[in-house]
Amino acid sequence: MNKLIKKADILIEALPYIRNFAGKTIVIKYGGSAMIDEELKEGFAEDVVLLKYVGLNPIIVHGGGPQINKMLDTLGIDAKFIHGIRVTDEPTMQVVEMVLGGLINKEIVALLNQHGGKAVGLTGKDGRLLTTKSFNPKSLHHRYSGSTEILQAENYGLVGEVSHVNSELLLTLQNANFIPVIAPIGVDAKGATHNINADLVAGSLAAAIQAEKLLMLSDVKGIRNASNHHVSTLSRKDMEGMVKKKVISEGMLPKVHACLSALQGGVKKAHIIDGRVPHAVLLEIFTDKGIGTEIVA
């Protein structure tokens, strides 16, 4: 009986969050171990479908770095990164589009549908969902740091950043009760295909559609301060200060930038959570303490 009562307590704890977030959009950046471990994949799909059934509108933006690296290695193509961003030449772009837009995207869609969802897979090319421009490293590394030491031009190749999001397409899908699953590939005004960092896509999309929350799944518990202690809550100003002081490492910069740009665009809260924790999405959204770091405007 005590176990049953505990289950009821969990539902009661979740009730105010379900009530407050009903009808609201939650953008989830799906990546890291949660995309590789089979049990975590199943748990993530269950979480997302449950969000939809209790009245929230989840939108999934997925990465796929390890899978891309594996395919590149199989084909004998070197993987190269600058400040956490994948350098993308033409052969790499072909692999990125094949792995992200084909293999991974459809696998996620199938898994959500298998668990009772109504998911549809998209890349930024579909309906001109994501219009891009060439990636400018200043937009990622210097907006908050004020630094001039790495302003030199870097050749990122066919890497883009989001210049426009077709929010109307997403709203149309939501109104039809679909769960959009988006691969971070866009197209510029001239029709050139661009590889986009999935974290940055999630941040831009959350701002464009005025999401209630942005959740970033990662392989770390959240943000750590200068003393290497986990921080459960940060203001946007605090996080900008941590970037300036270089407390946040290069690999985390795209996630931090995505959170900051989402908050500046009107999103109320951004969260960086550990996707290695089973049902991390539900634990962060529907419990009082959460499990990661929340950043508030």
In which band, very low, low, confident or very high, does the pLDDT at 100 lie, cut at 50, 70 and 90? very high
**Average pLDDT, rounded, for the chain:** 87
Q: Where are the beta strands (DSSP E) in the chain?
A: 25-30, 57-62, 81-82, 85-86, 119-123, 130-134, 160-165, 179-183, 185-188, 193-195, 213-218, 223-224, 230-231, 233-235, 269-274, 293-296
Q: What's the pLDDT score for residue 103?
A: 92
pLDDT in tens, 10-47: 777 888 888 888 899 999 999 888 888 899 999 999 99
Q: How far apart are the C-alpha atoms of 124 and 182, rounded to whole Å?
A: 7
pLDDT in tens, 207-258: 999 999 999 998 888 888 777 788 888 888 888 888 877 777 666 778 888 9
pTM of the model: 0.90
Q: How far apart are the C-alpha atoms of 102 and 125, rounded to whole Å?
A: 13
Non-local (6+) Cβ contacts of 134 within 8 A are 159, 160, 161, 188, 194
CATH code linked to domain 26-296: 3.40.1160.10
- 89: buried, middle or exposed (CB in 10 Å: 19+, 13-18, 0-12)? middle
Q: What's the pLDDT score for residue 203?
A: 95
Which of 57, 56, 64, 55 lies closest to 30 in space, CA to CA?
A: 64
pLDDT in tens, 53-79: 999 999 999 999 889 999 999 999 999
- Which pair of structure tokens corresponds to residue 266? 């009107």
> What are the sequence ranges of the domains in the chain?
26-296
pLDDT in tens, 165-216: 999 999 999 999 999 999 999 999 999 999 999 999 999 999 999 999 999 9
Phi, psi of 189 (to 5 degrees): -65, -25
